[in-house]
Amino acid sequence: MNSYKVTTLNDFIILKQKDFPFAKGELSSLLHHIGTAAKMVNKKISKAGLVDIIGLSGDVNIQGESQQKLDVYADEVFIGALLSSGECCGIATEENQNEIVFSDPLAENGKYVVCIDPLDGSSNIDYNVSVGTIFSIYRRITPRGEKVKNEDFLQEGSKQVAAGYIIYGSSTMLVYSTGFGVNGFTLDPSIGEFCLSHPDIKSPEDGHIYSVNEGNYLQLPQGVKSYLKYCQEEDEVSGRPYTSRYIGSLVSDFHRNLLKGGVFLYPGNVNMPEGKLRLVYECNPIAFIAMQAGGAASDGVRNILDIQPLSLHQRSPFYAGSKNMVSKIESFLVSDQPES
Ligand code: P6P
């Protein structure tokens, strides 16, 4: 008889906690609450087309983007879950100008802060395109028991304790790392559990997929234009021309490339010199996953995780995915630089 061995997210979290002799279960509790929030958001998204939650809430977020009702809902659900964990003392979220400071005495004693994009790519929801949640966990810098401060959220990406994303797609997956590899869990709606489906994810060092919004081509740096032409040239040895795949939802584009091999590009351009993606709650967590899976993530010059953030919502050019593809892009960008 086949025994269907299920390892749920919570089984896995507890199992892995045993690898940390001094762990007291704080991070485990935080991850558990993120999993619960993900299930709640997933339930809402899966019905988005059926109830009047779809469409604009009429509000505008700090990015000046009209807020989809699901953006607001997801933001509230994750904030509520992180507060109730008692392990998180504050949150930086795409939907709020400033960090959210928890004044609850239990939370104030929390060891961790969370940076989150509660629903990335939400403009795609009305068209049934997959969207995602992206999160990043740091130890606070300020003393426990005090109110969290802005500096707690402006740490280099290399200081992340854990990071991950949820992709609400054809199936809903949670992918995360605590710095010891990357594991993926698929939600089984029949039991309401995230089950280990992609253990120890490794990013292929090379790939044949590039993901970029080619509508920006004319505004792109010359080095990126040269790289795109390189991708499109015939070369049997390196398997070119590569395939262009772009969904317009960071988590979906990145996740496909992580599993199959490929590279995601959101360069700076003439209109947006720092690109579009946010360093703190989009680039850093995705970069953490990329590197933990053996891939790479760069702003075109340096490792994304080495950048010292200066503000919560700052943007960065972003290249992430298969290691050899990221370094190839960097070589095109370097050769494009005027002789110093
Ligand atoms: P563009 C979605 O709005 C998002 O923040 C990312 O998920 C996605 O990768 C990017 O923007 C798409 O931007 O300019 O190509 O539509």
* β-strand pairing of 243-244 with 209-211: parallel
Say if residues 52 and 107 touch (Cβ distance below 8 Å). no
Residue 71 or residue 258, greater confidence: 258
Say if residues 175 and 285 touch (Cβ distance below 8 Å). no
pTM of structure: 0.94
At residue 52, the pLDDT reads 61
Provide the 3-class DSSP secondary structure of residue 255: helix
What's the CA gap between 322 and 205, in Å, rounded? 5
Q: Where are the beta strands (DSSP E) in 22-168?
A: 56-60, 66-68, 88-93, 100-101, 112-120, 131-139, 162-168
The CATH code that applies to domain 209-335 is 3.40.190.80
The CATH code that applies to domain 9-198 is 3.30.540.10
Over residues 50-91, the pLDDT tens digits come to: 666 556 666 777 777 766 688 899 999 999 999 999 999 999
Provide the 3-class DSSP secondary structure of residue 336: helix
Q: 1 pLDDT band (50/70/90 cuts)?
A: low
Give 326 Cα–ligand 1 centroid separation in angstroms.
19
Nearest CA to ligand 1 atom 13: 248
With a cut of 60, say whether residue 101 has pLDDT above it.
Answer: yes
Q: Is ligand 1 within 6 A of the CB of residue 213? A: yes
With a cut of 60, say whether residue 340 has pLDDT above it.
Answer: no
Q: Find the mean pLDDT for residues 7-19.
A: 91
Q: Is ligand 1 within 6 A of the CB of residue 219? A: no
Domains of the chain by residue range: 9-198, 209-335
Q: Find the mean pLDDT for residues 206-211.
A: 98
Which residues lie closer than 8 Å to 107 by C-beta, 6 or more apart? Answer: 83, 86, 88, 89
Over residues 126-173, the pLDDT tens digits come to: 888 999 999 999 999 999 999 999 999 999 999 999 999 999 999 999
Which residues lie closer than 8 Å to 285 by C-beta, 6 or more apart? Answer: 115, 134, 135, 136, 157, 160, 163, 164, 165
Quote the mean pLDDT of the chain.
93
